[in-house]
Amino acid sequence: MGRQPSAKPTSFDIAYLAGVSQPTVSRALRGSKSVSAATRANIERIARELNYTVDKNASSLRSQRTHTLALLFFEDPTPDESMINPFFLSMLGSITRQCALKGYDLLISFQQMHNDWHVAYQDSHRSDGIILLGYGDYQLYRTKLEHLVEMDTKFVRWGSVSDDSIGLTVGSDNVGAGELAGAHLVEIGRRHIAFLGDASDHAPEFQDRYTGLCRAMRAAGIAPDPGLQQGAVSSEASGYAAARSLLASGQPFDAIFAASDLIAIGAMRALAEAKLRCPPDVALIGFDDIPAASQTSPTLTTVMQDMKGAGELLVDALLRRIGGADAERTMLPAKLIKRQSTAV
């Protein structure tokens, strides 16, 4: 049995007759570019035929501030069931505190990148703006960001900061951080330095860290060997597999710079299985300074990002954007934390 029309036509009646969702009707009647011209014209025709008028009071309520920010985590491979990168869990406390200081509530949501989260949050009006953490494959993420920019959605993201960054971005100086790691390995006498991480445009932060490592090596008169770069995503399993591939290649190496601590921890296990001592045989550096980095054996030298500053900047930049003020992309310095895995 079909939908019975209401006494007073609603957007749900239009959605039924047009064969679309109610949010699509709302977007079409707002003139949103996310709805095709043909669909928008059909919806407008049905609205006229039903003598539908927008509820001004409801529209006014939707346009008011919610004093809520939405924090969207994106699924990452992890050794437990959380599917959230532990680095971002560490940043959560800083974001929450800053929201409280600014008088805002924080709505936290877990998303899968392949879902249409960018459309859902545009239509839901549950928050005044969005903070984005994590992304997996950047090329898939990029299309979602372009949609948010087109729709003038107020958002800020943590990620790689560059001149061609899409949307308002806060991130670490990943090139500088890679140089710190590379310079330290060179300083302790390592010359054959491997990199574990996806050094491509699918993972621009990892790519920047590899660029920094190569700069440090070249500055010391060492030519980086492309054969010592192995792709990996940020997980222990991927780090283990990448280190196993590196060992199987037969290429000599005396150090590894891993693009994340999780990759480094997985690599540490592969080295131990191969009876290679860390650091006498292979020095190892990770990235992120997650809690587990200080609990491995040996403890892991790593690059620490400014989590407190990051959380504060993400919230403050988003609130400036919501308020109509200019907000610039920001790059934060990182710090090398020396532990046993590079001890001399």
**11-41, pLDDT tens digit by residue?**
888 989 999 987 788 778 777 677 888 998 9
Q: Rounded to whole angstroms, how far apart are CA atoms 342 and 344? A: 6
Does residue 58 sit within a domain? no
pLDDT for 25: 83
Angle CA 149–126–64, to nearest 5: 85
> Which has more confidence, 38 or 88?
38
Flag whether 339 is in a domain.
no
Indicate if 302 and 317 belong to the same structural domain: no
Joined together, the tokens standing for residue 266 give 């997985």
- Please give the average per-residue pLDDT across 214-225, as a whole number: 98
Residue 191 lies in a domain: yes
Q: Is residue 234 part of a domain?
A: yes
Claim to verify: residue 121 and residue 163 sit in the same structural domain: yes
CA dist 135 and 31 (Å) reads 29
- Is there a single domain that holds both residue 167 and residue 316? yes
Q: Which residue in this structure is represented by tokens 């290679």?
A: 276
* Confidence grade of residue 1 (pLDDT, cut at 50, 70, 90): very low
| Length of the chain, in residues | 344
Which band of pLDDT confidence, cut at 50, 70 and 90, is reported for residue 179? very high
274 lies in the same domain as 322: no
Q: Tell me how many domains the chain contains.
A: 3
Q: Is residue 136 domain-resident? A: yes
- 60, pLDDT greater than 50: no
Contact 79, 141 (CB under 8 A): no
The predicted-structure confidence for 136-168, as pLDDT tens digits, reads as follows 777 777 887 887 887 778 899 998 888 767 788
Task: For 186-201, write each residue's pLDDT tens digit.
Answer: 999 999 999 999 999 8
**Could you give the dihedral angle defined by the CA atoms of residues 145, 146, 148 and 154, in that order, rounded to the nearest 10 degrees?**
80
296 and 184, same structural domain? yes
Clarify whether residues 243 and 227 are in a common domain.
Answer: yes
Q: For 118-186, what is the HEC assignment?
A: HHHHHHHCCCCEEEEECCCCHHHHHHHHHHHHHCCCCEEEECCCCCCCCCEEEEECHHHHHHHHHHHHH
- The confidence score (pLDDT) of residue 170 equals 94
* Beta strand pairing call for 229-230 and 193-196: parallel
- What does 253-290 look like in DSSP terms, one character per residue? -SEEEESSHHHHHHHHHHHHHTT--TTTT-EEE-SS--
Residue range 225-233: average pLDDT? 96
∠ CA(70), CA(203), CA(286), 5° rounding? 95
What share of the chain in percent tops pLDDT 70?
86
* Range of the structural domain that residue 127 is part of: 68-171+307-332
pLDDT at 231: 97
Q: How confident is the model at residue 236 (pLDDT cuts 50, 70, 90)?
A: very high
- Among 52-56, 57-61, 75-79, 115-119, which stretch is predicted with the lowest mean pLDDT? 57-61
pTM (whole model) above 0.75: yes
- Same domain flag for 20 and 83: no
- The pLDDT value given to residue 106: 94
Average pLDDT of the chain?
A: 86
Question: Is there a single domain that holds both residue 219 and residue 276?
Answer: yes
Section 177-183 average pLDDT: 98
Q: Is residue 5 part of a domain?
A: no
129-133, strands of its sheet edge to edge: 105-111, 68-74, 129-133, 155-158, 168-172, 330-332
Report the candidate in 39, 46, 9, 82 with the shortest Cα–Cα distance to residue 262.
82
Residue whose tokens read 């710090």: 335
Q: Are residues 239 and 295 in the same domain?
A: yes
Residues 248 and 301 in one domain: yes
Burial tier of 284 (Cβ tally within 10 Å: 0-12, 13-18, 19+):
buried
Q: Which residues contact 136 (CB under 8 A, 6 or more apart)?
A: 74, 75, 76, 113, 233
163 burial via Cβ count (<10 Å: 0-12, 13-18, 19+): exposed
The average pLDDT across 269-291 equals: 97
Q: Give me the mean pLDDT over the 284-290 stretch.
A: 96
Residue 305 confidence class, pLDDT cut points 50, 70, 90? very high
**Segment 89-99 mean pLDDT:** 89
- Please indicate whether residue 117 or residue 150 has the higher confidence score (pLDDT): 150
pLDDT for 53 equals 74
Domain co-membership, 271 together with 321: no
What are phi and psi for residue 36, nearest 5 degrees?
A: -60, 155
pLDDT of 90 above 70 = yes
Q: How large a percentage of the chain has pLDDT more than 90?
A: 55
Residue 316, pLDDT above cutoff 50: yes
- What does the pLDDT average to over 223-247? 96
**What confidence score (pLDDT) does residue 162 get?**
80
Burial 240-260 (b: 16+ CB within 10 A, else e): bbbbbebbeeeeebbbbbbbb
Residues 313 and 302 in one domain: no
pLDDT at 105: 93
Beta carbons within 10 angstroms of residue 335's beta carbon? 12
Residue 344 lies in a domain: no
Q: Which CATH number do you get for residue 125?
A: 3.40.50.2300
Domain-located, residue 61: no
Per the CB < 8 A criterion, the answer to whether 288 and 271 are in contact is no
pLDDT at position 338 = 98
